[in-house]
Structure 1
Amino acid sequence: MGRGLTLEGLDEDVAQRRRGAPRTVGVVWGLLILNTLGSAGAQTIIPLPRSLIQMVTMGSLVSAFALALVVNLRLRIRPSAYLVLLTLLLVLSVISSANLESGAGALFRCARLALFVGTLWLLSRWWDGGETFVRHHIRMYFAVLVSVAAGLAVSPGAAMPDLYGGRLVGALWPLTPPQIGQYAAVITGLAALLLLGRRTTGASAAAVIVPSLVLLALTHTRTATLGLIIGLALAIGSLVLTSAAARRFFGWAVLCATAAAVGLSSLLEAWFLRGQSQENFSNLTGRAKVWDALLAAPRTTTEQLFGRGLGDKSFGGLPIDNSWLAVYNEQGLTGVGLVAAFVLVLGGVALLRPPSLSRACAIFLISYCAIASYTEAGLGDASPYLLHLTVAASLLAAPAAAAPLPTPEAIQRTEGT
């Protein structure tokens, strides 16, 4: 009887650490990923009204926050400089959106960002430097890629339309080639690192890596490909001094890359150019013109410092496709400083950590986001890139010290009461 009372009185956090994060955390993470899939993209096989897609994505975010609150009713959180800076970015977004220069939708986007950041705070309780969130990340994005592959199998024409130059898109859910390429590259890199760290089997890793690489190749997404290559090189490089497997993998990768560069140079160049002219390629497919126009647009001092409020990451009706310029346009130079701060904080912490698999995965995710930020927007609002960086933050969190078990004297005192 007394022993039973003692077990019930064990510290809840100790019990949670022994069991690991509850399964609900994985569900919450999946709902956050669903929310960031977006509502604009290719034409699907079965036309989906944008209002319906937005209802699903916003409903998933509200559900994620509610579930995270249920599973963490005592509001226990882990201190995190990354989340503090992200919260400051949220406050700045509200301030810059308050004048409604970007329309009433700006405040709606602020509310979405608030739920998003709040959910991340609630999940921070389970950040312990382990690979729990890495595995959730791989599973959820692999499920998204399965839907892409299913759409390709059902209707190849809809999945590789002429409108996108024959590049792979989402035929069941409206996903663009850059989105699919991003998801494929990220889970490929993470699965490869788990395999190097002997945290998964070769068969399991191959089941993720091989189809993901095929889908990545079909998207012809250069940013995702470069992010995968450079991010993996940096991550594996951080392990070469302590891991023989990493040294072997790095050596073979260099050898294969050299052979491919020599023997398949013409094919690689054709894939990389995607049929574009050298002028269009150097122009970054028209992105540079939008960037020049954005920078040349007149702005007041307030707009320069605080931006014009959260928008749809476009300028003059064209996508900005650059995280730093999108943040400058919507949250001003102050927002750029906050985004640079949390990226640099994560990078600095990763460099100061001793070599480990968690550190390598974090380096991969941080470097991938830094590379992609040049041609993709997302670092200043709820997006997959913030989820990637959140996984990196969870990997860099110091393991929480377990509370000591009750001593026999404490058990006797408990029984006596």
Structure 2
Amino acid sequence: MSPHVTDHSAKLVGTAWGLLILNTLGSAGAQTIVPLPRSLIQMVTMGALVAAFALALAVNLRLRIRASAFVLLLTLLLVPSVISSVDLESGFGALFRCARLALFVGTLWLLSRWWDGSLTFVRHHIRMYFAVLGSVAAGALISPGAAMPELYGGRLVGALWPLTPPQIGQYAAVIIGLTVLLVLGRRTDRGSAAVVIVPALVLLALTHTRTATLGLLIGLALAIGSLILTSAAARRFFTWAVLCAAVAAVGFGSLLQAWFLRGQSQENFSNLTGRAKVWDALLAAPRSTSEQLFGAGLGDKSFGGLPIDNSWLAVYHEQGLTGAAIVAAIIIVLGGVALLRPPSLARACAIFLISYCAIASYTEAGLGDASPYLLHLTVAASLLAVPAAPDAPAVAATRLVAPGVPRRRVPRWAQRSEVT
């Protein structure tokens, strides 16, 4: 973080980031041990967003922001969102979601002042999501039956806060990948990393989330590949990872296949657990020209009462071709900037986050609205930001005499310095 940032403001920025994460946890999920009304959960999440905006504004009263193509494109995404939502075809909830997205983007603009290419937001990200996973682990210990219900096929869910298996898998995969990269870059010790990685791996395995697992493996491969030419630790890790993967494929191939299939039939697996049927119905539905361009308005990412589970189709349905083009521009711009940056740990972390979000977008929705995926991409944007120039030093010379003592006039000939 920049040298002119005080410890107090840094804590407020970290708190604001944690509140943004709380806002994107969602309100739909499994039954919790203590039943929580959905209205109460929505009040907490929306209150967290308002508090995050207020904190960001309090710490940035002068409204100093950094130019960011990423946040600019997110701001442009508000245009098709409002155009499609203002006719109330999706109800007043669409306008409410537009206001939420506007407040979310406004908070990111205020926090952009602290985007300087450092790992500050990576550490905030890991700490906050590790705390979320801690609540999941606590729920599993308190009530294993509620944490792995039959409704979800025995997969791990949030028993204290309503979190679905894909959410838990996503959070676990992201902090595992970032922590591994911090270890390779020698920005944390192995003991501290093990405290994060080992429990997160266990939770990821219990969720049986294929998308998160593939995103973690492919994202880490791309991120570590970007470090191979400049990091001996990355080369050693990559070599050992390939050897371990080969041994696991040979010795535990049947177990890995059973875990990957989750007891599903080949037909169900090929249909992506029924997702393909929803996608076909969405694409076949008749649409007006306005709906094709701007969508039907921000909704709950569902079609016909079933989840869409695809970011691109969800954006097309709610924000039209215009929104899909803006979201594609976000991924392309961030990916292009990452490829143009010289090899570094910050670049590797950004590549991991961008590639993970791109992979997960095929079976998960969220790139067109306030979501954890936009927060992942925000961290990537902060890592790719060019460090701000340091404040210029004061021009006036330091006074060497005590206050109140008149300064003697020095002759001009005595002001010349000798050159030795």
TM-score interval, smaller chain: over 0.9
Which has the greater radius of gyration?
2
The alpha carbon displacement at 1:406 in A equals: 1.3
Q: Which residue of 2 is the match for residue 93 of structure 1?
A: 81
Q: TM-score, structure 1 length as denominator?
A: 0.94
The alpha carbon displacement at 1:15 in A equals: 2.2
CA shift in 2, pair 1:410/1:92, >3 Å: farther
Does the 8 Å contact 2:157/2:164 carry over to 1?
yes
Q: Which runs of 5 or more structure 2 residues have no equivalent in the other structure?
A: 407-420
Q: Which residue of 2 is the match for residue 165 of structure 1?
A: 153
Q: Which residue of 2 is the match for residue 335 of structure 1?
A: 323
The alpha carbon displacement at 1:404 in A equals: 2.3
| Counterpart mapping for 1:191-206 below 5 A | 191-206=179-194
| Equivalent of residue 46 in structure 2, options 58, 79, 84 | 58
Q: Which residue of 1 is the match for residue 411 of structure 2?
A: none
| Equivalent of residue 34 in structure 2, options 43, 46, 65 | 46
The alpha carbon displacement at 1:411 in A equals: 6.7
SS of the equivalent of 1:102 reads coil
| Equivalent of residue 178 in structure 1, options 166, 177, 182 | 166
C-alpha separation in 2, matches of 1:169 and 1:207:
21
Residues matched between the structures, number: 401
C-alpha separation in 1, matches of 2:3 and 2:216:
37
Q: Which residue of 2 is the match for residue 15 of structure 1?
A: 4
SS of the equivalent of 1:22 reads helix
Q: Which residue of 1 is the match for residue 216 of structure 2?
A: 228
| Counterpart mapping for 1:18-417 below 5 A | 22-409=10-397
The alpha carbon displacement at 1:14 in A equals: 5.5
Does the 8 Å contact 1:327/1:336 carry over to 2?
yes
The alpha carbon displacement at 1:96 in A equals: 1.2
C-alpha separation in 1, matches of 2:104 and 2:389:
28
C-alpha separation in 1, matches of 2:106 and 2:232:
41
C-alpha separation in 1, matches of 2:263 and 2:215:
21
CA shift in 2, pair 1:393/1:411, >3 Å: farther
The alpha carbon displacement at 1:95 in A equals: 1.2
Q: TM-score, structure 2 length as denominator?
A: 0.94
Q: Which runs of 5 or more structure 1 residues have no equivalent in the other structure?
A: 1-12
Does the 8 Å contact 1:130/1:394 carry over to 2?
yes
- Post-superposition Cα deviations, 1:162-206, rounded to whole Å, max 9, x if no partner, equal 000000000000000000000000000000000000000000111
Does the 8 Å contact 1:92/1:335 carry over to 2?
yes
C-alpha separation in 2, matches of 1:404 and 1:67:
28
C-alpha separation in 1, matches of 2:369 and 2:216:
23
- Post-superposition Cα deviations, 1:284-305, rounded to whole Å, max 9, x if no partner, equal 0000000000000000011001
Does the 8 Å contact 1:14/1:403 carry over to 2?
no
Q: Percent identity?
A: 82
Does the 8 Å contact 2:9/2:59 carry over to 1?
no
Does the 8 Å contact 2:310/2:362 carry over to 1?
yes
C-alpha separation in 2, matches of 1:319 and 1:180:
18
The alpha carbon displacement at 1:159 in A equals: 0.1
